[in-house]
């Protein structure tokens, strides 16, 4: 698998598919591109989609350096992922995040939101701030919300207006179902798919249903 150096970190990534709809696949805690998305890469519609998966910094073969789990590390992951995709030539893409990769995906959605402000609003802001500073303020606000508790985080994630699919196992031993329902309530364009017999690693334990839910969502929500 190829590597790309981003801000001094050598990131392993892999791609598959020839479609016009690009999807960045983000593993969770200790996950890698191969062990998390290997089976999905074998069975998805390669004519419609193009998948990009990475080993997050400090995981798998994106080492050295080793992983440092400290305040702001998911924000840094999001920034590195955004820069990786930019370096690979992807301007617009969806995100498929598993477990903690889903958290990073939300941060990435906030981070890139500056690029998709309504043109009039963006032009007004750029008269006062440069683009990089806007991105920094937005992601710093998200990090503050995550550090300060869910009440603040609720206000931070509110501006995200893109369609969102939430998948959750009824028997999840890591996160409770009420958390998924609360996330659904806070996102105006979200859809919730609950797996009655599912635990946490739905992509491993219920691959067919997971694939059906995820790519059914992408097919019904986004064009080509």
> Where in the sequence numbering do the catalytic residues fall?
99, 172, 200
| Spatial contact of 68 and 58, defined as CB atoms under 8 Å apart | yes
SS3 content of the chain, % helix, strand, coil (to 5): 45, 20, 35
The number of beta carbons lying within 10 Å of the beta carbon of residue 147 is 11
| Spatial contact of 143 and 71, defined as CB atoms under 8 Å apart | yes
| Cis before 64 (ω within 30) | yes
Burial 178-196 (b: 16+ CB within 10 A, else e): eebeebeebbeebbbbebe
How far apart CA 128 and CA 26 sit, in angstroms, is 34
**Ramachandran assignment for 8, one of left (phi > 0), alpha (psi -120 to 50 degrees), beta (any other):** left
């Amino acid at each position: 698998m190829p590597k790309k150096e981003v801000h001094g970190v050598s990131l392993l990534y892999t791609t598959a598919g020839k479609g016009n709809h690009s999807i960045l696949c983000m593993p969770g805690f200790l996950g890698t591109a191969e062990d998390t998305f290997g089976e999905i890469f074998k069975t998805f519609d390669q004519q419609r989609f193009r998948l990009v998966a990475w080993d997050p910094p400090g995981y798998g073969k994106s080492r050295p350096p080793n992983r440092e789990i400290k305040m702001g590390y998911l924000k840094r992951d999001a920034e590195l992922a955004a820069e990786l995709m930019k370096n690979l030539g992807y301007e617009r893409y969806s995100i498929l995040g598993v477990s903690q990769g889903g958290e990073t995906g939300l941060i990435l959605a906030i981070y890139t939101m500056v690029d998709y402000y309504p043109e009039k609003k963006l032009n007004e802001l750029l008269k006062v701030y440069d683009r990089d500073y806007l991105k920094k303020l937005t992601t710093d606000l998200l990090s503050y919300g995550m550090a300060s508790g869910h009440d603040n985080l609720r206000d931070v994630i509110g501006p995200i207006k893109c369609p969102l699919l939430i998948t959750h196992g009824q028997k999840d031993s890591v996160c409770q179902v009420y958390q998924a329902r609360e996330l659904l309530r806070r996102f105006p364009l979200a859809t919730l798919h609950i797996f009655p017999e599912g635990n946490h690693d739905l992509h491993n334990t219920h691959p067919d249903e997971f694939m059906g839910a995820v790519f059914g969502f992408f097919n019904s929500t986004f064009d080509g």
